[in-house]
Amino acid sequence: MKRILLNPVILLIVLLIPVFSVFSQGVKPAKVSKAIYHDVIGPIRDLPALTAEELAAEQYETRIERNEELKERLYPFAATALPKGPDAIWQNEMGQNALSNREVFSVFNGQTSYSDPPDDNGTVGYDYYMQTINVKYTIYDKSGNLLAGPTNINTLFEGVPGANRNDGDPIVMFDEQIGRFFVAEFSGIGNAPDYMLIAISQTADPTGMWDRWSFPMTGFPDYMKFGIWRDAYYMGTNTYNGNDIYAFERDVMIAGGDSPQMVQFNNPWRPNSGFHCVLPVDNDGEFAPEGTPGMFATINDDAWGGSQDQLWIYELDVDWTDPGSSTFNRVQQLNVEPFDSNFGSTWDNITQPGTSQKLDAINQILMHRVQYRNFGTSQHIVCQHTVDVDGTNHAGIRWYELTLEGEDWNIRQSGSYAPDDDNRWMGSIAMNANHEIALGYSVSSTSTYPSIRVTGQSASENEAATGIMDVQEISIHEGSASQTSSNRWGDYSNMSIDPSDDLTFWFTTEYNMSGHQKGTKITSFSITTIPLADFHASSTLVPTGQGIGFTDDSYGSPTEWAWTFEGGTPSSSTEQNPENIVYNAEGTYDVQLTATNNNGSNTILKEDYITVSSSILPEVDFIVDKNSLCMNDTAVFTDLTMHIPVSWNWQFDPSTVTFINETSYESQNPEVIFNEPGDYNVTLTATNLNGSSSLTKNEMVQAGGYTPDFLETFEDNGLTEHNWTIENPDGDKTWELFETGGTTPGNTAIGLNFSDYLAIGQRDRLISPPFNLSGLSTASLSFEHAFAKKHEEATDSLIIYISTDCGTSWTRIFEGGDDGSGNFATHEMTDDFWPEVASDWCLSGWGASCIDINVSQYTGNADVRFAFETYSFYGNPMFLDNIMVSPTVGINEDITGKDELIVYPNPTKGVFTIILPENTTLNELLITDYTSKTVYRQNIPNNQKTITISTDKWAPGVYIIHASGNNNIFAKKVVKY
């Protein structure tokens, strides 16, 4: 990968000058106009419904290609777009908060349609539900009884300019602040003039009287979506000539005025996705505070442009007194977890059973609706869109909850819902007054016919802002047929909130019946759940006469608890977490809990849950926070003993320890300082009401540090196993673990990626755990490294320091030039380096030898630490691996010179050969593992220079070869893999 380096300050100024200019000004309306027609119709319950014959004849009508621009899907920067792997916030498991059947209040059939797509949506009022599809409407009571329709939508607008056509893309909403239904339909597909037809019921009864208006459009208002706000009905469209943002004068319309105004804007901040509709934000419940501008929102995928995936927030500040002074502005660009909206450039995205025909994922936009809630003390927005969660066109729902903090919106939580292998798409989301979120969607895969399901987030989960839909998925309709006539599925659906209680959710969307006939379902449900009772005991195996505690783990925010303890004293409790329940007799006993909230109760009985015994003894175990530590550092021991110990006795060998912070050898979790360097054995004796048990852990603590040999491979627990630390003064890029190739064992190395550093000359330190060199006369530090210069002027550097006082002061021990910038390259110069094979590392292939530093002058000390310091200059990454502190060092300073031990093959899988140095008398060969345990020893006959050894009985790992004699000591590392 090539990177172009620019001065970041200059780049920032260049990028921000036009942005600040536009943001400060916004844009003015491209046009201000008025409705050209208004009248009243009704009661519409008297309008004729379509006959069965007319409905059946729809299948033979010529189908209109609606929203043809959806075909244009642009991903000009797909090659560099993130993510490059699975979605980082992918919820790939189903929520476990199960709803009972009584909480799904109703599921009934809506309309059928032969349109591609049917564009099913609907909304609930106080007593009615109104549904619109392409190109009809129906009205039901809340029990699902049909009260009006199905009737063509242009019949509702009969006589209004534009109603000679029945083009569709209908929207129906409920304006709960005034108790009115709102319906809109466009007119003019492929045949100007273009109109927006809007009707508003005069009461909360949608079967009664309606006001109707016609507004001429500048450009076809494709895929229009509406949002209800205090001062306007706001609309966004997919209009290519830029006339895509609108406001309609709500106060005049709800008063039945003849000439409500309309303002329209050319939006200069449309994402470069091809088809796109910036959605207006729809206000449910209490209105936003007085004076709050209307809002719009959309997504921007970095595959379309921009450096990061984002949510964009817009404001439309309308002035109906002087509408020409109204402004529209993009006010925020919120970075989000990277998402992948790229399902390809066609409508063939979602798989179905038994057919190669795929369905449109409608994946370039936020889906209807973007919902706003004002709870007085907080303001919230929820929205969602379809994403590919794993790069395989596996569709899931990416959703967000935003909250207003000061003047800025922030992402409170987000997630990508795809809990199994099925695709989920064409969703709709809403939040109710209880801060519960419901999400409805279509489901399909090669094994699941297109179906309808809902999930949600409970109030308790929402309070924790986990980004998890914890409500177990509910099936509203399980499909039985694939759609084979077309790849167009549906362009939107709708989740609405019942204004009667502000709690119940209503959802409508489609499924396939047969051929190209679609059916729809309308459902109402609640996720205000009864508790799901659960609990655990502090111990389930109890000594006779011992008291234990119980912890409530119930789900669903219970407010009352009723416990029953068979065999316990007391035998019942109403505490949430009762303590000291005493069991005085041997046996097995049941425990029962009933948890209750405002919605009901749930009971769990755990049979034979508690076992009481007079013979069970403590099962002793314990840990320490640091196995290797500096003198005067504190070690904190934690007792993990099972079976309810009541007393403890700690012993240390040697006994030269000091207990601190009011702890003692009888404390459960003592804090200890070790007074002498060396290895300490630790013994804990724990006692319960039945007796005592002991456990000894030999050489558990290394006071003053690890005693060499020591090898760090960074495998398994990486930095934490041996307590490495990192100093990162600037908080920017620093040392981290990477997956590499070319070294053994494993494939993990520590490194720092200089090429990602924005600043020059920054220093970061990787600091080792302490080492105890007090009993040694020789010692060395060695490691493997990989690095390639990026350009000749680069001075990215590695500098090594040693400390004999645990890091208080440091002495430089490795430097190859100014700032340690000597040549330690292991690979020829390149602009893109990453080690993959052995020749990319030191001592094998192109470049520098491995570093081996004689630190014998620092022996006799404990508390020795090493610091690996980097100096950044925009170069390639640098990597270290297999850092070794050894008690041996060659008499010859250059142990990589002509007199060194030669070992081959190395690494080895079975047999390896050692070639001893010439002109040197050696009489003993010793091989140890990295813990200094001897695995091989032999005498070396006179004049023997070659030794072959089998590793068949050795475990994979790193071993040290020691060859000695006649005051010479040679050491070499060999790796068995």
Contacts of 824 (CB under 8 A, 6+ apart): 785, 787, 798, 816, 842, 848, 851
* CB 138 within 8 Å of CB 150: yes
pTM of the model: 0.61
> What is the mean pLDDT of the segment spanning 569-595?
97
How would residue 4 be classed by pLDDT, with cut points 50, 70 and 90?
Answer: very low
Residue 7 has pLDDT above 80, yes or no: no
DSSP state, residue 641: -
Q: C-alpha distances in angstroms, 956 versus 712, 746, 910?
A: 15, 10, 10
Each residue of 661-678: pLDDT tens digit?
A: 999 999 999 999 999 999
Same domain? 258 vs 381: yes
Residue 811 has pLDDT above 70, yes or no: yes
Preceding omega of 975 cis (within 30 degrees of 0): no
Residue 878 lies in a domain: yes
Pair 492, 640 in one domain: no
Q: How far is CA 417 from CA 97, 303, 411, 504, in A?
A: 15, 21, 17, 22
Q: What is the mean pLDDT of residues 73-91?
A: 93
- Out of 494, 525, 556, a domain closes at 525
Omega before 83 within 30 of 0, i.e. cis: yes
Has residue 67 got a pLDDT over 60? no
Domain count, the chain: 5
For residue 757, what are its two tokens? Answer: 């550093």
Q: Per the domain annotation, does 408 fall within a domain?
A: yes
Q: Judge if 588 and 729 occupy the same domain.
A: no
Give me the percent of the chain exceeding a pLDDT of 70: 93
DSSP states along 928-960: EETT--EEEEEE--TT--EEEEE-TTSPSEEEE
More confident of the two residues 515 and 882: 882
End-to-end CA gap in the chain:
32
| Amino acid sitting at position 682 | V
Q: What pLDDT is recorded for position 650?
A: 98
Distance in angstroms (rounded) separating the CA atoms of residues 659 and 667: 10
671 vs 645: CA distance, rounded Å: 19
Q: Specify whether 755 is located in the same domain as 838.
A: yes
**How far is residue 304's CA from residue 298's CA, in Å, rounded to a whole number?**
13
pLDDT value at residue 557: 77
Predicted pLDDT of residue 842 = 85
Give the contacts of 56 (CB within 8 A, at least 6 positions apart). none
The CATH number linked to 324 is 2.130.10.10
Query: What are the backbone dihedrals phi and psi of residue 324, each rounded to the nearest 5 degrees, phi first?
Result: -65, -20
Q: Is the pLDDT of residue 22 over 60?
A: no
CATH of the domain at 861: 2.60.120.200
Looking at 825, 851, 886, the residue that finishes a domain is 886
d(CA 409, CA 380): 9
* Contact criterion met (CB below 8 Å) for 897 and 806: no
Assess whether pLDDT exceeds 50 at residue 633.
yes
The domain in which residue 69 lies consists of 38-77+105-525
Q: Could you give the strand order of the β-sheet that contains 451-457, starting from the edge strand earlier in sequence? A: 423-431, 437-444, 451-457, 471-477
Are 26 and 129 a contacting pair, CB within 8 Å? no
Helix or strand or coil: residue 594? Answer: strand
Angle at 332 between CA 327 and CA 338, to 5 degrees: 140
Give residue 93's pLDDT band: very low, low, confident or very high (50, 70, 90).
very high
SS (H, E, C) 363-420: CCCCCCCEEEEECCCCEEEEEEEEEECCCCCCEEEEEEEEEEECCEEEEEEEEEECCC
Q: How far apart are CA 842 and CA 825, in angstroms?
A: 8
Q: In the structure encoding, which two tokens stand for residue 552, read together?
A: 């409530």
Three-class SS of 542-580: EECCEEECEEECCECCCCEEEEEECCEECCEECCCCCCC
Average pLDDT over residues 560-589: 97
How far apart are alpha carbons 462 and 414 in whole angstroms?
11
Q: Are 889 and 971 in contact (CB under 8 A)?
A: yes
Phi-psi region at 65: left, alpha or beta (left = phi > 0; alpha = psi -120 to 50)? beta
Q: State whether 185 and 262 are in the same domain.
A: yes
- Quick one: pLDDT at residue 186? 96
Strand order in the sheet with 587-597: 541-543, 600-613, 587-597, 560-565, 572-573
Q: Are residues 489 and 562 in the same domain?
A: no
**Integer Cα distance of 493 and 133 in angstroms:** 10
CB 241 within 8 A of CB 219: yes
Count of other CB atoms within 10 angstroms of residue 341: 24
Bond from prior residue into 907 cis (ω within 30 degrees of 0) = yes
Torsion of CA 90, 92, 93, 94, to 10 degrees: 80
Mean of the per-residue pLDDT values of the chain: 90
Close Cβ partners of 886 (under 8 Å, ≥ 6 residues apart): 708, 709, 710, 779, 780, 781, 782, 960, 971
Residues 380 and 483 in one domain: yes
- Is the pLDDT at 23 greater than 50? The verdict is no
User: pLDDT tier at 133 (50, 70, 90 boundaries)?
Assistant: very high
Count of beta carbons in the 10 Å neighbourhood of residue 61: 9
183-239 pLDDT, tens digit per residue, is 999 998 878 899 999 999 999 999 999 999 999 998 889 999 999 999 999 999 998
Domain boundary among 525, 556, 572: 525
Question: Phi-psi bin for 934: left (phi > 0), alpha (psi -120 to 50), beta?
Answer: beta
pLDDT average, residue stretch 437-454 = 98
Q: Do 919 and 838 belong together in one domain?
A: no
User: How large is the average pLDDT for residues 418-434?
Assistant: 97
pLDDT tens string 718-732: 788 888 999 988 887
- pLDDT at residue 116, rounded to an integer: 84
Cβ–Cβ under 8 Å, residues 183 and 132: yes
pLDDT band per the 50, 70, 90 thresholds, residue 331: very high
Asked if residue 597 belongs to a domain, the reply is yes
In a domain, 894, yes or no: no
CA quadruple 526, 496, 111, 350: dihedral, nearest 10 = -90
SS3 485: coil
Query: Is residue 105 scored above 90 in pLDDT?
Result: no
Q: Hey, what are 388's tokens? A: 């590919």
Higher pLDDT among residues 365 and 870, named by residue? 365
One domain, residues 906 and 828: no
- Show the tokens assigned to 646: 């009541």
Same domain, 503 and 629: no
Handedness of CA 697, 700, 703, 707 (dihedral sign): positive
- What is the pLDDT, as a whole number, of residue 763? 87
Number of Cβ atoms within 10 Å of the Cβ of 483: 28
In 3-state terms, the chain is what percent helix, strand and coil (to 5)?
Answer: 5, 45, 50
Q: Is residue 82 part of a domain?
A: no
**72-81, 626-635, 836-845: least confidently modelled range:** 836-845
pLDDT band, very low/low/confident/very high, at 277 (cuts 50, 70, 90) = very high
In a domain, 302, yes or no: yes
Q: 63 or 493: whose pLDDT is higher?
A: 493
| 326-335, 507-516, 579-588, range with the lowest pLDDT | 507-516
CATH number, residue 694: 2.60.40.10
For the chain, what is the largest distance between any 2 Cα atoms, rounded to a whole number of angstroms? 116
- CA 957 to CA 970: how far, in whole Å? 20
Average pLDDT over residues 768-775: 94
Report the sign of the C-alpha dihedral through residues 474, 477, 482, 486, in that order.
negative
Please indicate, yes or no, whether residues 672 and 715 belong to a single structural domain of this protein.
no
Task: Classify residue 153: in a domain, yes or no.
Answer: yes
Q: Are residues 489 and 566 in the same domain?
A: no
Contact residues for 102 (Cβ-Cβ < 8 A; gap 6+): none
Q: How far is CA 346 from CA 311, 343, 352, 358, in A?
A: 24, 8, 16, 10
- Domain assignment present for 494: yes
Q: With a cut of 80, say whether residue 900 has pLDDT above it.
A: no
